[in-house]
């Protein structure tokens, strides 16, 4: 049954085995509960905290991931400080103290929970490159949107149809659009300057020491704050406020690749099941498939006597 559940939904397995949905669901729930109770091994020292959507992206759950496993350690309801508190109160104090890296987004609630629960958190929190790039891409997109509206009002279509070009990294545009991209980047456009600021921020990930990373990061922040583009300035202020954690990510080489990989697998699990009725069943499914658990029951030894 466990082997079948690894490959198909509860409904499909129930039909194959001529059982009810509840009977098969009970097997899955008991397997996860049993293995969580006897989970052993070293506690994770490099963790990632992420959110994943539940029920058509209107609600979220928080996942705690062992980056070295890699596997999902646990899942909590919602994306809030209380949900992360619940995850971090389960490990023993010595296990929390042994954590070396906490890769996460710049959520104020999550930062506060990690600082309260994990000793020396400021030296361990790492804001991965993806989250920095996400804020900068949003800023460039907002600058492009505002400038495009202003240019169209003047009868100038220079930025029409270029939105996605600005979200690509340097050198990525396809050959067909490269000439157009080079033309608009040479123009005296705010969007081109915003894009240049975004691209220059990527150089921060080339550093290998905290001192050089700080000396490279602060001039970039000053440049962005002088840009006179409010979306870029807002992103720069956020990065300045979280610069220590950004540099931690640079030095630890902490990325969100594992989190994104697990997110994709979780969405496949949800799609296969055609959704879940509640978060409890969603959590069970995530841990069943991605928890790194030995789901088979332990068989008792049988003693045979000679007759």
How does pLDDT run across 121-133, given as a tens digit for each residue?
Answer: 999 999 988 888 8
Question: Where is pLDDT greater, at 91 or 146?
Answer: 146
pTM: 0.79
Q: Is 307 exposed, middle or buried (0-12, 13-18, 19+ CB in 10 A)?
A: exposed
Does residue 193 register a pLDDT over 70? yes
Q: Which residues pair with 51 in a beta bridge?
A: 62
pLDDT of residue 164: 79
Q: What's the confidence (pLDDT) of residue 179?
A: 59
Q: Scan for tokens 């804001």, then name that residue.
A: 127
Q: Which two tokens stand for residue 145?
A: 């949107």
CATH 3.30.1370.60 fits 42-127+255-290, yes or no: no
Query: pLDDT tier at 305 (50, 70, 90 boundaries)?
Result: low
Read off the pLDDT of residues 260-290 as tens digits, 9 standing for 90 and up. 888 889 888 888 877 777 888 889 999 999 9
Kindly report which listed range (183-187, 225-229, 296-300) carries the lowest average pLDDT score: 183-187
- Give the start-to-end residue ranges of the domains of the chain: 42-127+255-290, 130-243
For residue 307, pLDDT over 50 is answered with: no
pLDDT of residue 299: 66
Banded model confidence at residue 176, pLDDT cuts 50, 70, 90: very low
pLDDT of residue 275: 72
Beta bridge partners of 252: none
Decide if pLDDT at 148 tops 80. yes
CB 44 within 8 A of CB 69: yes
pLDDT in tens, 210-232: 888 888 889 999 999 999 999 99
13-71 pLDDT, tens per residue? 999 999 999 999 999 999 999 888 887 767 889 999 988 887 666 778 889 999 988 99
What SS3 class is residue 103? Answer: strand
In the three-class reduction of DSSP (H, G, I as helix; E, B as strand; rest coil), residue 51 is classed as: strand
């Amino acid at each position: 049954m466990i082997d079948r559940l690894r490959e198909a939904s509860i409904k499909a397995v129930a039909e194959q085995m001529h059982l009810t949905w509840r009977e098969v669901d009970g097997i899955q729930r008991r397997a996860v509960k049993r293995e969580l109770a006897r989970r052993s091994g070293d506690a994770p020292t490099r963790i990632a905290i992420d959110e994943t959507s539940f029920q058509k992206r209107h609600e979220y759950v928080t996942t705690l991931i062992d980056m070295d496993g890699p596997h999902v350690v646990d899942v909590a309801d919602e994306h809030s400080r209380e949900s992360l508190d619940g995850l971090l109160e389960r490990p023993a104090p010595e296990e929390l103290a042994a954590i070396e890296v906490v890769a996460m987004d710049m959520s104020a609630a999550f930062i506060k929970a990690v600082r309260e629960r994990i000793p020396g958190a400021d030296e361990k929190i790492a804001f991965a490159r993806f989250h920095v790039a996400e804020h900068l891409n949003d800023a460039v997109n907002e600058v492009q949107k505002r400038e495009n509206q202003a240019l169209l009002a003047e009868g100038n279509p220079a930025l029409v149809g270029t939105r996605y070009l600005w979200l690509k990294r340097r050198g990525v545009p396809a050959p067909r659009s490269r000439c157009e991209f080079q033309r608009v980047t040479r123009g005296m456009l705010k969007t081109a300057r915003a894009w240049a600021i975004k691209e220059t921020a990527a150089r921060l990930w080339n550093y290998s020491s905290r001192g050089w990373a700080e000396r490279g990061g602060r001039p970039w922040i000053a440049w962005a704050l002088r840009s006179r583009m409010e979306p870029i300035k807002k992103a720069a202020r956020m990065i300045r406020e979280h610069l220590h954690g950004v540099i931690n990510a640079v030095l630890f080489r902490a990325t969100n690749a594992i989190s994104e990989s697990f997110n994709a697998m979780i969405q496949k699990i949800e799609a296969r099941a055609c959704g879940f009725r509640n978060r409890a069943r969603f959590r069970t499914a995530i841990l069943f498939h991605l928890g790194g658990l030995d789901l088979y029951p332990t068989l008792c030894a049988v003693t045979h006597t000679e007759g």
